[in-house]
Amino acid sequence: MSQSASQSPSSRPVCLRRSVLSVPAINRRALDKLSSLECDAVIFDLEDSVSPEKKAEARENLRAFFSASPLPGKERIIRINALSSNFGADDLALVTELEPDAVLLPKVDEPQDVSDVSDRLAEADAPEDLRIWAMIETPRGILNAAAIAEAGRTAGSRLDCFVVGLNDLRKETGVLPQPGRPYLVPWLMQVILAVSAYGLEAIDSVFNDFRNAEEFEAECGQGIAMGFAGKMLIHPSQIEAANRHFGPAEAAIAEAQAIIAAFAAPDVATLNVVNLGGRMVERLHLVQAERLVHKARLIAQRSSDMAAAPRTEV
């Protein structure tokens, strides 16, 4: 489901990552509900949300869940504990056994953090399409975001996506949580520049107060305006708003279709710029339009599949 780390932003496959729900692997009831939820991706968390004495039980939960629930159409990511911890090696062994779509590394500070896991996955003969996601949630991670993203272009690297973690970043820097995230915006845009330069994607940080729907909506709008592909979520109630904000609006789809139609006309086959209703549109906009329309089709297909799927009451 994920793109090669060496691809440019315009050539990477279109992935649906509007809503990336994080679920504690220790919570069996939450795991059982996943098949009925309309999130695009699921992060099965073995790290912060699982206490040390429950780590082994959480891994067993995932082993049982993956054997029974493939979650078709949803990207599956397992967040492990750091390899330097007492749990990281066992977590990574579980990843190679279950073969999710990606493994999410916590607190990535430098390129070596990614290459170490890439090497271990290669040694374990993990499938090439088992990708790596990186949590960027420390001051060093922000400072090294470009270097980490650049390392994703090296041969053998599996790096595919960044996930911003603002809770840890706030804790380490002392920046207070405020509406609009004014003091965090420069760091967030630094992450966007890094992934854009090296053909990756970035997922915006969680919003902790899931009962505050108005502020969550505003933060989703800010995230899509910045260039994030989607948002990491902590509660199912946040899925609908994330899907709506990070999915293409009807007006944007119509405009994209008009751009595609304009460049499809026989008399503009050799032109790089066309006049579309008094506005000059370049061929680079055609590439963006094609990706947006393709994303809209994937969303429509997802909705159709969800509507057709039998619902299980949990």
SS3 state of residue 270: coil
301 close to 292: Cβ distance less than 8 angstroms: no
What are the C-alpha distances in Å from 220 to residues 11, 140, 158, 205, 206? 26, 25, 28, 10, 10
Q: What length is written for the chain?
A: 314
| Torsion angles phi and psi, residue 130, rounded to 5 | -85, 105
Q: Annotated binding residue at 137? A: yes
Distance separating alpha carbons of residues 210 and 314, to the nearest angstrom: 22
Cα dihedral value 255, 73, 217, 180, nearest 10: -90
| DSSP three-state, residue 311 | coil
- Quote the DSSP letter at residue 144: T
Residue 292's nearest CA partner among 262, 261, 249, 243 is 249
Give me the helix-helix angle, 283-308 and 250-264, nearest 10°: 130
Gap between the Cα atoms of 218 and 130, Å rounded: 33
Q: Name residue 312's amino acid.
A: T
| Structural element, H or E, at residue 78 | strand 75-79
Binding residues: 79, 137, 168
Binding residues for substrate: 79, 137
Binding residues for Mg(2+): 137, 168
